Amino acid sequence: MKINKITFIFAFFTCLSLQAQIEEKQLDKLVEKTLKTFDVPGISVGILKDGKVVYAKGHGVRALSNQKEMNENTLVGIASNSKGFTCFALAIMVDQGKLSWDDKVTKHIPEFRLYDAWVTQNFTVRDLVTHRSGLGLGAGDLMFFPENDHFDVQKVIDNLKYIEPSTSFRSTFEYNNNMFIVAGEVLKRVSGLSWEDFIETKILKPVGMTNSKAAYSRVTDKSNIIEAHTMADGKLEEIPHDWDDTANAAGGIVSNVTDMLTWAKFLMNDAVTENGTRLLSKDQLHELWQLQTPLKVRANDSYNSNFRGYGLGWFVTDVKGGYKQVYHTGGLLGTVTQFTIIPELNLGIVVLTNQMNGSAFTTITNTIKDTYLGYEDRHWLDKLGQSNEDWYKYNDSIKTEVFNKVEMMKSSPIIPKPEQITGTFTDAWFGDMVIKKEGENLRISAINSKTIKGELLPYNATTFVVKWDNRSYDADCFMQFTFDEKGKAQSATLKPIAPITDFSYDFEDLFLKRTK
């Protein structure tokens, strides 16, 4: 095929623009500004290009309490970026003929049950890892989030049958962690290894991720690990690590920038390790990155994307010029992370943070990505900094209005008396919540989750506000009661008072009935 000189020159300079690299000092400066803009104590960033690490640094500190510098080897919980490892592990089992993506879950876990019998009978392994179960966003997450002392994997499986779906089966994308917990149990039963042992011995070790562990509880050397941080009532606060081993298959891996860049290199090398060992067939690696559950592309999409959706443990989309992007984010209490690869550009970007503000990792990832895609500076820090500030102001205004009304209603005669609402209320999957009077205050506590406890404050004739003791949750709720003809509360539902509440505080899926 002949091309003219003008076409050749245009193609040449287009190619050059796509190979541009953000300067190290420029990126250093961006990360430092990002720390300040979003009140993040520490961020580590890594870039892999054409099989080589071109940037791997930590900025800021690992913890407010110790002020030790964050670096490229600082360990961070990667949260839901673990989902890609879970699906990679299942794909290994498919390669070995021990599993099919379209096996019914009951083939491997006979006791598996969902709310609807037909859905149970037709639910496949593929359905477990594509967020199309019909269960609502984060449904059931209170069984492991925040850290619990009651629910193990088997209890999670046993309780799923009590959670009512919010949509029909396979019709809608609704992110759900509990299905990945079940997927981890499938892996255990077909492989004969625990999820944690499989991930460490069959993936992390052979890939060369020498500092990574499959669970926080397996990290024995904590000399270079972050502490978690979040905003609590407008103030940055260090908080305890929160992830529970029950949900490791959904988000338990602990890693660092160095190892995550190794993971990126491995994936973009067709799942072949440094020593030439293939861990997964090309067909199965291809399958992981195929669209399974579609998502809408926004009309004003920043990267001119034509498609977007979820594969098997990964989000997939196309970015400028049709380059396929495979990515995921992760969030724990006090930690958020982002992992992005664009295989056709042989580009990998890793951002790990110790504060739960996604605008920080988006600012950094998008700025880096833009330089390789040939975009001019789009000022992500300014844009997202302003939207972040507006978001906090909006939520604060809602909270202020609610608590102003609480103050007004404290002496109102329409507020139910303590004896009308005290007692034990039970949800089928979450268990008991107890309301009792302590001195002049009404208190609520969850029997099966010792950290979920707080004060009940009056709001109107049927509704109280639950103000949780742990202010870092940012998850205060309305609690609305229904009463019998004698004025005794018989049931209650909850919902967050402000949209900033993390979806894993799954209070909306509780239906509490009086039992005492």
Q: How far is CA 75 from the centre of its chain?
A: 17
| Nearest partner of 425 among 486, 482, 344, judged by Cα | 482
pLDDT at 87 > cutoff 70:
yes
Q: CATH topology for 5-378?
A: Beta-lactamase (3.40.710)
Res 13: pLDDT: 39
Res 392: pLDDT: 96
Give the pLDDT mean for 60-74.
97
Question: Sign (positive/negative) of CA torsion 360, 363, 366, 367?
Answer: negative
Q: What percentage of the chain reaches a pLDDT higher than 70?
A: 96
pLDDT at 9 > cutoff 70:
no
CA distance 426 to 292: 37
pLDDT tens digits along 184-213: 999 999 999 999 999 999 999 999 999 999
Res 491: pLDDT: 98
Per the confidence metrics, is the pTM higher than 0.85? yes
What angle (nearest 5°) sits at the alpha carbon of residue 97, between those of residues 95 and 101?
Answer: 75
Tell me the pLDDT band of 412, cut-offs 50, 70 and 90.
Answer: very high
Burial of 453 (0-12, 13-18, 19+ CB in 10 A): middle
Q: CATH topology for 394-514?
A: Lipocalin (2.40.128)
The string over 470-490, giving b where at least 16 C-beta atoms fall within 10 Å of a residue's C-beta and e elsewhere, is: bbbbbbbbbbbbeeeeeeebe
The string over 252-275, giving b where at least 16 C-beta atoms fall within 10 Å of a residue's C-beta and e elsewhere, is: bbbbbbbbbbbbbbbbbeebebee
Give the pLDDT mean for 105-123.
98
Cis peptide preceding 418, ω within 30 of 0: no
Res 243: pLDDT: 74
pLDDT tens digits along 347-384: 999 999 999 999 999 999 999 999 999 999 999 999 99
CA distance 259 to 209: 5
Q: Where are the domains of the chain?
A: 5-378, 394-514
pLDDT at 14 > cutoff 70:
no
Give the pLDDT mean for 146-150.
79
